[in-house]
Amino acid sequence: MELRAIGSLPVSVVGLGCNNFGMRIEGDASARVVAAALDAGITFFDTADIYGDTKSETFLGQALGSRRTQAIIATKFGMRLDESRRGARPEYVRTAVEDSLRRLRTDYIDLYQLHQPDPSVPMADTLGALDDLVKAGKVKQIGCSNFSAGQMEEAHRSAAPGGARFVSVQNEFSLLHREPERDVLPACARLGLAFLPYFPLASGLLTGKYARGKGAPEGSRLSLSWTARFTTAKNVAIAEALQAFAATRGRTLLELAMSWLAAHAPVASVIAGATSPDQVRANAAAVNWRLAPEEIAEIDRLAPPP
């Protein structure tokens, strides 16, 4: 599989999002998904302390086991686990990383990401704490998530000379959510940051498995109440039009959704979740469509940019 760079880290262009671990599947099923990912050439595994109420990190660490060196592990901190475990205060950064290292069964994290901005803490303070972790060898690179272009610029200005800087930003991006094209992707180009799209398949709507009037498949992510925002009438109509277009090229909607994201220069790895080995293998094989300019123009007509 093609490798791209997040700072100094070589990562597979398709990554595995691990937010299903501990939420929709348990340890044994998570291990099967991880093994299938490694066998398919996926090396980038993205999780967070909050996923599965910390179980995702635990299950990922258990699943990797002796294959840890084959993986690039990205995890996140900062969202509220409880009243004391949240935010980006330097003292909490130091606690959070130790907790994640223990759950992941590793002595270093490849990419440690601030899950969301914390306006109550000066960015320079958070970056200073993260720089200490890099210097201590506990973290290789640092990134951010859910940051605006302005917040990315602020973080860049706040980094100490010679200190660790964010090398990536992870925000929602898909054919149905193209907002990053407005200013976040241009900011990535200016600042030299890799972009990591989450919800690349709009929680399953862009897999082609959702049919209008039939509802979401039982047990799918789209059947969960919090995913209702994806299945608006407008989004369903766009997805159907994109699926029909892909079919004229002998392709699937999944191939279109994944390959379109991978075609954007700042995108380092398309992070797609999975609950089964078959889903992992399908995602890994879905980035082989090199879109022609006329195809991109038609996509823009069917799913207009912001």
For residue 9, what is the domain's CATH number? Answer: 3.20.20.100
Which H or E element spans position 218? none
Quick check: 84 and 48 in contact, CB under 8 A?
Answer: no
Res. 264: pLDDT tops 70: yes
* Bridge partners, 5 (sequence order): 10
Name 14's Cβ contacts closer than 8 Å, sequence gap at least 6. Answer: 1, 42, 44, 258, 269, 270, 272, 283, 284, 286, 287
Q: Supply the pLDDT for residue 221.
A: 60
Q: Supply the pLDDT for residue 209.
A: 79
Cut 0.85: pTM above it: yes
pLDDT band for position 222 (50/70/90)?
low
Residue with tokens 């996140």: 76
Quick check: 51 and 83 in contact, CB under 8 A?
Answer: no
d(CA 99, CA 56): 13
Class of residue 135 by CB neighbours under 10 A (exposed 0-12, middle 13-18, buried 19+) = exposed
Q: In which domain, by residue range, is 205 found?
A: 3-302
Res. 226: pLDDT tops 70: no
Summary mean pLDDT of the chain: 94
Q: Supply the pLDDT for residue 217.
A: 65
Q: Supply the pLDDT for residue 263.
A: 96
Which H or E element spans position 96? helix 90-104
d(CA 110, CA 302): 38
Quick check: 140 and 108 in contact, CB under 8 A?
Answer: yes
Quick check: 136 and 143 in contact, CB under 8 A?
Answer: no
Q: Supply the pLDDT for residue 161.
A: 94
Mean predicted confidence (pLDDT) in 220-247 = 82
Q: Token digits for 229?
A: 């925002």
Number of H helices, E strands in the chain: 10, 10
Q: DSSP alpha helices (H): ranges in 105-222?
A: 123-135, 149-158, 184-191
- In this predicted structure, which of 183-192, 223-232, 256-265, 284-293 has the lowest mean pLDDT? 223-232
Q: Supply the pLDDT for residue 142.
A: 98
- Structural domain tally of the chain? 1
d(CA 264, CA 153): 20
Mean predicted confidence (pLDDT) in 155-181 = 96
SS3 288: coil
- Please identify every residue annotated as catalytic: 51
Find the helix packing angle between 123-135 and 90-104, rounded to 10°: 40
Which H or E element spans position 12? strand 9-12
Mean predicted confidence (pLDDT) in 105-114 = 98
Q: Supply the pLDDT for residue 225.
A: 55
pLDDT band for position 220 (50/70/90)?
low
Instruction: State whether the Cα torsion 266-203-22-60 is positive or negative.
Output: negative
**Region at 196 (left for phi over 0; alpha for psi -120 to 50; beta for the rest):** beta
How far is residue 199 CA from its own chain's centroid?
A: 7
pLDDT tens for each residue of 57-82: 999 999 999 999 999 999 999 999 89
